[in-house]
Amino acid sequence: MGEGLFQPLHILLLIGIALLLFGPRKFADLGKGLGEGIRNFKQSVKTPDDNKDQQKDTDKKA
C-alpha cells in the first residue's frame, strides 16, 4: 500500500481527532473562517488585474 502521509484513512482519523478536540461548533467555525480567508485571497489576487484593465482603458481614451 502507499507510503504517503495523506492517505484517506489518515485524513479521516485527523478529522475525527479534530472533532473530538474542538467540538462540532468550533470545527464549523474553523471551516467557515478558512473559506472566507480563501475567498478574500482570491479577490485580492484578482483585484490588481481589474485595476490594470481600467487604467489601460483610461489611457486609451486620453
Domain definitions of the chain by residue range: 23-62
Residue 59 confidence (pLDDT)? 59
pLDDT tens by residue, 2-53:
577 778 899 899 989 988 988 888 888 988 999 999 999 999 888 665 556 5
pTM above 0.75, yes or no: no
pLDDT band at 57 (very low <50, low <70, confident <90, very high): low
Would residue 23 be called left, alpha or beta, if left means φ above 0 and alpha means ψ between -120 and 50 degrees?
A: left
Which tops the pLDDT comparison, 12 or 57? Answer: 12
Q: Is the dihedral of CA 44, 46, 50, 55 positive or negative?
A: positive
**Residue 39 identity (one-letter amino acid):** R
